[in-house]
Structures are given as C-alpha cells and as structure tokens.
Amino acid sequence: MSAYSTHPYTVGLLNSIPRMGRKRRRLVPIEGVVPESLNLPEGCAFGPRCPKFEEECREDPPVIEVADGHVVRCRLYA
C-alpha cells in the first residue's frame, strides 16, 4: 500500500483484495450500499459508507495535493 493510500475508500478497497500465500481469511467488505451513479449523495460520494464520516462530509470536498501529482478529495486532509 502506498504511503498516500489512506483515503477511507482506498483503504477499504485494498483490504478487500484476497492475498495469495496467506492463510485463508474472510474478506473485509466495505459496509453499506453503493449509491446509484445518477443519484449520488451531496458532498463526498463515499460519505454514507465511510467509517470516518462527519457532517462536514455533506459539503463538497476540497481537492488537496498530498504528494507531487497525487490528489485526494477529502476533508480529512484539509
């Protein structure tokens, strides 16, 4: 995992990947229901499923550069 792969959505995706050569274990799902692409929630599209959700997440998230050429749209990095 990249040092910059800390957005809650990215962490959830990476934790959902089966790993070869490891003991079998349950996959870790991302809780909640994926919203319809034509009916996204206000603010952060991942907000309703995010374990770090706060009311501020209902606002449009800022674009923040966390490394050269690597940006996130999440208030956690503001």
- What lies within 8 Å, CB to CB, of 27 at 6+ separation is 16, 18
Which tens digit of pLDDT belongs to each residue from 5-50?
A: 677 888 888 877 777 777 777 777 888 898 898 998 999 989 999 9
d(C-alpha 66, C-alpha 78), whole Å: 10
Does pTM surpass 0.85? no
pLDDT digits (tens, 9 = 90+) for 45-59: 899 999 999 999 999
